[in-house]
Amino acid sequence: MENIMKHFITFLSLISLLFSPAFGQSPEEIVETAIYADRDAFLPGDTVHFAVAINIMNGWHINSNTPFDEFVIPTELIIDSHPSVVWSDVRYPKPHIVNLAALGGKSSTFEGNNFAFFYGIISPEKSPERVSISATLRYQGCDDQVCLAPVDAQLKFSLSKGDAGAGITRINPAVFSEETIDIQQEAAVLEGAESGDFGRRVAGKGIILTLFVVFLGGLTLNLTPCVYPLIPITVSYFGGQSGNKGSALLSASLYVLGMSVTYSILGTVAALSGEMFGTLLTNPWVLVGISGIMLILSLSMFGVYEFRLPLFLMQFGGGARSGAVGALVMGLTMGIVAAPCIGPFVIGLLTYVAQQGSAFTGFIMFFTLSLGLGLPYLFLGIFSSKLSALPRSGEWLNGVRIFFGLVLVGMAIYFINPLLPPKWVKIVLPAYLILAGFYYGVIDSSGSKAPWFLRIKSILTLLIVSAGVWMIKPMPENIAEMTWNSWSEAALVQAVEDKKPVLIDFYADWCIPCKELDKFTFSHPQVQAALADWERLKVDLTQDKSDFAQDLISRYSIKGVPTIVFLNAQGEELIAARLTGFENAEAFLKRVKMIQ
């Protein structure tokens, strides 16, 4: 109700201001505009940068492109389409946040002299003798008390085709020196970019509805490969707690709560510090620590010890919450495992939190996101913990516990795998699965008095061994891996000299979606054919603390992996094509064809 009243008051304020006695200033006089190019002519295939000067009269302002209220009119630069030019998104100036009593609170505005930047890629095949640009700058001028009628200012500019032999002259250096922030670092906050505009969502929908959308966004992360490690860990942990007298709902809730707290802290720190999300998994000690926890828990499944809290904690909880603290600690650890869950939605959230600069706002946003991510594990934990309550469970429960123990050992190897020598990486885990299947199906005798369980056990054994064989088998000859070059500045410079577009794959060994891209997308024959003429570079961010990695993370504003960056033949990023997360071959082909 409070939010509705605020919008109503804002609406009435705007109406009254429009008909105020002071409403005598001509709206067109508030803003002076002009278009500048970074060169005096163009050549076919060039990428030409443009700047639109937005000079606002002293004492006045215009609403920014991301206003805080849905009733005010945002500034928008609309560039008419051209048959021979592909336009980029517009990079607007940084807004000022001001407190306007007439509108009942804070507003996002542009003041003084500003520039909006964009660029156009001239077609190499059908470039005209002259490129004529038509654009519209839509804005509404206001002072502290009065808002004028909206204006659609028409902008015109033309640039002639140059002579390749005479060369091109760079002009307007004073204007384009304003473009000091590398365009890649602004990609995630561009209007219409993949990351979305969280500022407008928060302002337009209100914080409650926005948090609900963020929660749904977290829920959709369960459709991505990043959650794979969480599933067996959750089932193994709760399925092995046969002696736990505590509430299954309480333990599962605290598990999700712990996971959410860690995930939220990591997300907030990443957003406010500029670090890459999930970067904690690049630390070998963290990987060793997680693997150690998995191994210790597996010993409980094998009957080496009974997992329970210290006696004083059990007495403190009256015995009813003996597994609660353990579930919370386990959840806190698993929040690190969930950190690589990344995608356009998470990138947008990271960008929004970085813009706000508030740790509290960041924590609330990421906590809501992680609750959505963790919701399925609440039910998975409850279901798994009920195994011991099934009738006559003593005859076969030991077999279930041993299976979960084997799964936890496999997860320990999975997390330690990136630290192994390269020649062992593709062997250790498959070999373990084959040996584990042999042990479970041939040596282990648990559950032998339950014929129905022996049938299930045989199926599980077959699945384990099959998974190991499938992982270790060589790739068929008719499915070739895409060839890549390691990133180097020299390779990029050479590609620009050769007028070749560039594809850069930022990946890490611990990143499941990165492996999915290699296996299912980049191995596709049509994808390889579409990228045959591209210079393909890989950047390994498994150990991202080096100066080399940090420089590239900063230069291309990498928030997480995988991130796929597309550069044109001039070495400039095609911002709208940037990909974060996994994408299947069909969708990736559409992305490539869109920019070719």
CATH number (domain holding residue 497): 3.40.30.10
Decide which of 397, 419, 441 is a domain's last residue: 419
- Residues 183 and 572 sit within 8 Å (Cβ to Cβ): yes
Sign of torsion, CA 201 203 204 205? positive
Within-domain flag for 195:
no
Residues 336 and 433 in one domain: no
Provide the number of structural domains found in the chain: 4
Q: What letter represents residue 330's amino acid?
A: M
Structural domain includes residue 200 = no
Is 168 within the bounds of a domain?
no
Q: Residues 22, 92: contact at Cβ < 8 Å? A: no
CA–CA gap between residue 87 and residue 122 (Å, rounded): 9
Question: Within this chain, do residues 554 and 537 fall inside the same structural domain, yes or no?
Answer: yes
The contacts of residue 161 (CB under 8 Å, 6+ apart) are 41, 42, 43, 44, 127, 128, 129, 130, 131
- Quick one: pLDDT at residue 25? 64
Residues 92 and 115 reside in one and the same domain:
yes
Tell me, yes or no, whether 344 and 435 share the same domain: no
Residues 428, 394 contacting (CB under 8 angstroms): no
Buried b (16+ CB within 10 A) or exposed e, 163-202: eeeeebeeeeeebbeebeeebbebbbbbbebbbbbbbbbb
Same domain, 505 and 539: yes
Which phi and psi angles does 122 have, rounded to 5°? Answer: -80, 130
pLDDT given for residue 531 in this prediction: 93
Count each helix (H run) and each strand (E run) in the chain, helices first.
Answer: 18, 16
Answer yes or no: do 503 and 372 share one domain. Answer: no
**234/250 same-domain check:** yes
**What gap in Å lies between CA 52 and CA 36, rounded to an integer?**
6
* Predicted pLDDT of residue 462: 93
Domain ends where: 161, 196, 230?
Answer: 161
Q: Identify whether 171 is part of a domain.
A: no
Question: Both 405 and 285 in a single domain?
Answer: yes
Interaxial angle between packed helices 359-385 and 248-273, expressed in degrees from 0 to 180 and rounded to the nearest 10 = 150
Predicted local confidence at residue 310, as pLDDT: 46
Please report, for residues 61, 64, 180, 473, the alpha-carbon distance to residue 10 in angstroms, rounded to integers and kept in the order given. 17, 17, 36, 66
Q: Among 429, 447, 473, identify where a domain stops.
A: 473
Model pLDDT, residue 398: 78
CA atoms of 593 and 529, how far apart (whole Å)? 12
Residues 556 and 589 in one domain: yes
Per-residue model confidence (pLDDT) at position 520: 86
Q: Are residues 93 and 75 in the same domain?
A: yes
Do residues 537 and 504 lie in contact, with contact meaning Cβ atoms separated by under 8 Å?
yes
What value, to the nearest 5°, has the Cα angle with vertex 279 and ends 346 and 566? Answer: 60
My answer on whether 395 and 429 are in the same domain is no
Asked, for residue 285, whether it belongs to a domain, the answer is yes
pLDDT (tens, 9 = 90+) of the chain, 596 residues, equals 445 545 544 544 444 444 444 445 677 888 999 999 988 888 887 888 899 999 999 889 998 988 877 677 899 999 998 888 888 888 888 888 877 665 566 788 899 989 899 888 887 767 788 888 899 999 988 887 777 888 999 999 999 988 866 777 888 877 776 443 333 333 333 333 333 445 545 544 556 777 887 888 788 777 766 676 777 777 777 765 654 545 677 778 888 888 888 888 877 887 676 566 666 666 678 778 878 887 887 887 787 766 554 444 444 444 434 467 777 877 887 777 777 666 666 766 776 676 566 778 788 888 888 888 888 888 877 776 665 555 555 567 778 778 888 888 988 888 788 778 877 878 898 999 999 999 998 888 887 777 888 888 899 899 989 988 888 876 555 566 789 999 888 888 888 888 899 999 998 877 777 888 888 899 999 999 999 999 999 998 877 667 777 788 878 878 778 889 999 888 888 877 888 878 888 889 988 887 76
Contact 131, 84 (CB under 8 A): yes
Taking the model in full, what pTM does it have? 0.51
CATH of the domain at 114: 2.60.40.1250
Residue corresponding to tokens 């000091």:
180
Half-sphere exposure of 567 (CA within 13 A, CB side): 23
Phi, psi of 398 (to 5 degrees): -60, -35
Distance CA 283, CA 280 (A): 6
pLDDT of residue 505: 94
Query: Does a structural domain hold residue 178?
Result: no
* d(C-alpha 273, C-alpha 350), whole Å: 11
Please name which of 117, 109, 113 lies closest in space to residue 65, comparing C-alpha atoms.
109
Beta strands per DSSP E along 9-72? 31-37, 47-56, 61-63
The CA-to-CA distance between both ends of the chain, in Å, stands at 50
Residues spanned by the domain of 79: 2-161
Is 275 part of a structural domain of the chain?
yes
3-state secondary structure of 19: coil
Q: Checking phi first, is residue 564 left (phi over 0); if not, alpha (psi -120 to 50) or beta?
A: beta
Statement to judge: residues 459 and 490 lie in one domain:
no
Q: How many CB atoms lie within 10 A of CB 594?
A: 12
Task: Report if residue 369 sits inside a domain.
Answer: yes
Q: Are strands 485-486 and 535-540 parallel, antiparallel or unpaired?
A: parallel
Helices in 517-579 by DSSP H: which ranges? 525-530, 547-555
Alpha helices in 386-524 (DSSP H): 397-416, 422-438, 451-472, 489-497, 512-516
